[in-house]
Amino acid sequence: MRSRRSTRACAAPSPITVSCLRGNVEPIRLMKPYLDYSDVEQDFRAAFESGIFTRGENVGAFAAELAAYVGARHVFFATSATTALWVCLKLLGVGPGDEIAVSDFSFPATANVVEDLGATPVFVDVDSQTYNMRPEELEAKINARTKAVIFVDALGNPTGLHAIKAICERHGIPLIEDAACAIGSSEDSRKCGSIADLTCFSFHPRKLLSTGEGGAITTDRNDWAEWLRVKLAHGADGSKGLGLDFVDYGYNFRLPELQAIMGRKQLGRLDAVIQRRLAIRDAFATALAPLGLAPQRVAENVLHNVQSLVFRVQDTVDRDRLVQALKGDGIETTLGTYCLSGTTYFRKRYDDVQPVAAALEATTITLPCYDDVPVDRVVDRIARHMN
């Protein structure tokens, strides 16, 4: 039963209470950008004065700096992590009759791109503590039709990525890392973007490095890089007469110059941002432990960027009511992410709901995480509603 609210009164269901937000208490958001207009104003002005808004010097510089940061040989930009994933599947020749093994706890884009190309997403259940693909589940679902594996760094956590890579190498299957949330994260001292065969990043506003929208692909394969270089330039390769030589058909998923400026400004401070978010995570974890809220588990050999600060509530707690109650207090929270196999579309199409991912969708909660977030206030309201 969900709580009912009106302009006159707030219902108070048990065991979670719902309160009305009164007064001038500042709302607590899930996320705040790590970028101010003052950071980019001078470079924006220079771009406007030059009139160059695409394929400018900042796009090239951002690509080089991102490659150096993650330790990848090649970087190519896209309009989002979704288009980046789609392009990677096109590169691998994915189509009807192929199967792509995908982590089942993710945003639907991970499986949507597979469906769009006529292939079949095979949902692989996840670990109940790390929220990441379970190696034994993947092994059981690989067959002759498996064209690739998409491992999702759930909420920025790459725990287990190397174990999945070993399985892919043993079977001769390309590994795509959906690192939409994982920029700056690492496993075994190797940053996401330098481990899988292909890695896709997102620069969405909810991400630690945001350009409004945008994405990137990294790879160390020179042959794949050549394919991406031509395909992402409308199929052009050099010049022919007065124009370009279009040697293939291709696409336009460019990142504009202004967005590249935004990305460059944030990349240099990313590691410091992550350290501050780790401190916030530790503060929440300590304070929420007595209430039975368990944080996402991160392996000792992993640096987690804390893209999303997610806890799992006990089965006796109504997570949805808790989210609504906190909303009444002006505190923005939400679910962890989605069980892909349990979404309406994929459930109807494949009827293969993965139990752990489904349980995580129902019991995880994402809490606010940004500089100066009032941890005590958030914890106090959670405790009041749960008690």
pTM more than 0.75:
yes
pLDDT at 15 over 80: no
pLDDT at 205 over 70: yes
pLDDT at 4 over 70: no
Stretch among 21-35, 203-217, 259-273, 332-346 having the lowest mean pLDDT: 21-35
Is 265 designated active site? no
270-386, superfamily in CATH? Aspartate Aminotransferase, domain 1 (3.90.1150.10)
Give me the pLDDT at residue 387, please: 83
Per residue in 67-78, pLDDT (tens digit) is 999 999 999 999
CB 182 within 8 A of CB 154: no
**pLDDT mean over 167-180:** 98
**pLDDT mean over 176-197:** 98
3-state SS, residue 335 = strand
pLDDT at 19 over 90: no
pLDDT band at 385 (very low <50, low <70, confident <90, very high): very high
pLDDT at 323 over 90: yes
Give me the pLDDT at residue 23, please: 53
Q: Could you give the C-alpha distances from 249 to 83, 219, 294, in angstroms and in order?
A: 17, 22, 50
Tell me what the pLDDT averaged over the chain comes to: 94
Percent of the chain with pLDDT over 90: 93
- Domain 37-267 in CATH 3.40.30.10? The answer is no
Cis peptide before 96 (omega within 30 of 0): no
Quote the longest CA-to-CA distance of the chain.
Answer: 75
Give me the pLDDT at residue 11, please: 34
3-state SS, residue 102 = strand
CA distance 269 to 122: 38
Burial profile 165-204: b = 16 or more Cβ within 10 angstroms, e = fewer? bebbeeeebbbbbbbbbbbbbbbeeebbbbbbbbbbbbbb
CA distance 202 to 308: 14
Torsion of CA 158, 64, 82, 336, to 10 degrees: 30
Give me the pLDDT at residue 1, please: 29
* Strands of the 190-191 sheet, one edge to the other: 190-191, 186-187, 302-303
> Residues near 340 by Cβ (< 8 Å), separated by ≥ 6?
102, 104, 105, 106, 108, 110, 111, 121, 123, 346, 357
**pLDDT mean over 96-120:** 98
Percent of the chain with pLDDT over 70: 94
Residue whose structure tokens are 């969900």 = 2
pLDDT at 335 over 60: yes
Residue whose structure tokens are 């096109």 = 90
Q: From the candidates 207, 231, 265, 327, which is the catalytic residue?
A: 207
DSSP-assigned letters across all residues of 301-332: TEE---SSEEEE--TTS-HHHHHHHHHHTTB-
pLDDT band at 97 (very low <50, low <70, confident <90, very high): very high
**pLDDT mean over 89-115:** 98
Give me the pLDDT at residue 193, please: 98
**pLDDT mean over 301-305:** 98
Give me the pLDDT at residue 12, please: 35
Give me the pLDDT at residue 309, please: 98
Q: State the Rg of the chain over Cα.
A: 22
Domains of the chain, by residue range, sit at 37-267, 270-386
